[in-house]
Amino acid sequence: MYKEESFERSLKQKVDEYRMYPSNQSWSNIQKELRKTNRSFNYKAIGLTIILLTGFSIYLSNHQQTNQKSTVAALIQSDIAIVSAFEQTSNSTFQPVQKAEKRRTLTFRNTNNPESSSEIIQNLVETSAINTEVPELINQNQNSSVQTNNAEDVTDLKKLEMVTNNYEPTSKSQLPDLKDGPEQKLSQLTTTNVVAETLITDEPSSAKTDAELNYEVNIPVVIKKKEVKKLVMYITPSSSYRVLYADNKFTFRNFPQLDPENAVTHTPSLGFEAGASILLPITKRIKFRTGAQFNYTSYNVNAFSAAPQLTTITLNYSTSQRITVLGNFNGYITRKVQNETYQLSIPVGFEVNLAGNKKVTWEMGLNLQPTYLLKASGYMLTNDYKNYIKAPDLMSRLNLNTGLETFIRWNAGKFQLQAGPQLRYQLYSNGKNILPVKEHLVDYGFRFGIIKPLR
């Protein structure tokens, strides 16, 4: 149609000689865009580090508190040993006269003076949230007896938790008999233990005589708070993606050197997870968890619109031919499609308390999630990597996911709240086993939850 030296050819030669030099800003913008992905991963890493450091600091502070309490407990246990020594020298017998329902405090009365046995002096020590109390000596005949009677003492008493874990009388014979009044022995206590001194300050002079006749000892008994079942409701926005690899059972003659990860252009997209689960305490630190969960996952496939063509997928012992209009490497124009899945799963796993106190705890959870695939768009890469086919029928309906998470849980009135990162990975390939390219979904999420105790 055209001469050899055609219009097009010479025009092309001419314009190809032309050069234009872009501004410096262009390269900066390209660099920024290229580093954006890496930066987002850096932010995730920083966020995770902060959470881990916070958890570690909580753990450390908790550890220090425990040490302090252990020291106090050791001191008080020595006092209890002294009190126990009374048993050997006293003719008195003790019997429990009251077990306060809420205060969890046993009161023992000296039965040498039966007249005073009808009256029980109220224990000034209020039950703390820790559910522990400290030993207390009460002179029944005197209001100003040997007892804690001011706020500071109460505070000190609260610090003395764990004291009587091992001190619970089992029979009368084990109860302390006092021959002499407690005053003498109490003075021994005060010289023995500075902490215990706060229990017996401002002792009135009249207490000496009265105490010889009759006194009561309130010995707290720690009743462990029963762990309760909890209902957890949660939602997890996530960044969904996938891991691709080629099954060695299949031959990729055309691309023997090509990893499917390098042959495609995929980008992560947003997904989410919502569910409810029951927490069942196993030990103080470990809880069993199970429930129901819905997941939506999605990632972008950057492909090309191409002319309809027949493609072949090699399955295990057969081939399947499909018509597709999606090219992987080339086509008329670029086209972005989303590989979506809708899943229902039953997570079964454990939560472990790593650190924390009554208000804030740091937990870690691990679970397995038998999963049923409700619906999927099902874009799959062909054997030669040249095309995508839409084949939801080749996707496996049943699968198994695993979840790993760490989070902070804190009290918020009647409820507890939790927040923390989680990783969800699909253990088996998205497609059926017969497919050559294996695809495992992965979700990087941040879970928010609300916890309600069940009675």
Partner 1 sequence: MTEEAILQGCLKNQPPAQQELYSRYSPKMLAVCYRFARNREDAEDMLQEGFIRVFTQIHQFQSKGSFEGWIRRIIVHTCINHLKKHKRFNESVDITQAHGVQVREDSVPSIIQVKQVIECIRMLPIGYRTVLNLFAIEGYSHREIAGMLDIEESTSRSQYTRSKAMLEKILVQKRIILQPRIQGEWVAAAHPRF
Give the interface with partner 1 as residue ranges (CB under 8 A): 1-3, 5-12, 14-23, 25-27, 29-31, 33-34, 262-263, 265, 305, 307, 329, 331-334
Report angle CA 175, 177, 182 to the nearest 5 degrees: 115
Residue 312 contacts residue 306 (beta carbons within 8 Å)? no
SS3 307: strand
Closest approach, Cβ 242 to partner 1, in A, equals 17
Q: Output 250-259 pairs: Cβ under 8 A, ≥24 positions apart.
A: 250/314, 250/383, 250/436, 252/383, 252/384, 252/385, 252/436, 254/384, 254/385, 255/384, 255/385, 258/385
Nearer to partner 1, 2 or 43 (CB): 2
Closest approach, Cβ 24 to partner 1, in A, equals 11
Closest approach, Cβ 239 to partner 1, in A, equals 18
Q: Tell me the two tokens of residue 295.
A: 């997941």
Q: Find the helix packing angle between 24-89 and 182-192, rounded to 10°.
A: 150
Report the alpha-carbon distance of residue 373 to residue 125 in Å, rounded: 58
Nearer to partner 1, 16 or 101 (CB): 16
Nearer to partner 1, 25 or 205 (CB): 25
Interacting residues of 287 by C-beta distance below 8 A, sequence separation 6+: 230, 279, 280, 281, 350, 351, 353
Q: Using only C-alpha atoms, what is the Rg of the chain?
A: 37
Closest approach, Cβ 335 to partner 1, in A, equals 10
Stretch (H or E) spanning 76: helix 24-89
Nearer to partner 1, 40 or 84 (CB): 40
Closest approach, Cβ 313 to partner 1, in A, equals 21
Closest approach, Cβ 16 to partner 1, in A, equals 8
Closest approach, Cβ 434 to partner 1, in A, equals 27
CA dihedral 332, 335, 339, 340 (to 10 degrees): -140
**In the sheet where 94-99 sits, what is the strand order?**
94-99, 105-110, 216-220, 136-138
Nearer to partner 1, 31 or 89 (CB): 31
Measured between its terminal Cα atoms, the distance across the chain in Å is 89
Nearer to partner 1, 15 or 151 (CB): 15
Nearer to partner 1, 289 or 386 (CB): 386
Summarize the chain as % helix, strand, coil (round to 5): 25, 40, 35
Report the alpha-carbon distance of residue 360 to residue 408 in Å, rounded: 7
Nearer to partner 1, 119 or 259 (CB): 259
Closest approach, Cβ 238 to partner 1, in A, equals 23
Nearer to partner 1, 72 or 263 (CB): 263
Report the alpha-carbon distance of residue 44 to residue 54 in Å, rounded: 15
Q: Please, what's the b/e burial string for 123-132 (b: 16 or more CB within 10 A of its CB; e: otherwise)?
A: bbbebeeeeb
Residue (of 380, 361, 357) closest to 430 by Cα position: 380
CA atoms within 13 A on the CB side of 354: 20
Residue 451 contacts residue 414 (beta carbons within 8 Å)? no
* Whole-Å CA distances, 221 to 99, 195, 229: 9, 19, 25
Report the alpha-carbon distance of residue 70 to residue 72 in Å, rounded: 5
Closest approach, Cβ 60 to partner 1, in A, equals 39
Closest approach, Cβ 441 to partner 1, in A, equals 22
Nearer to partner 1, 22 or 413 (CB): 22
Nearer to partner 1, 36 or 414 (CB): 36
Closest approach, Cβ 300 to partner 1, in A, equals 13
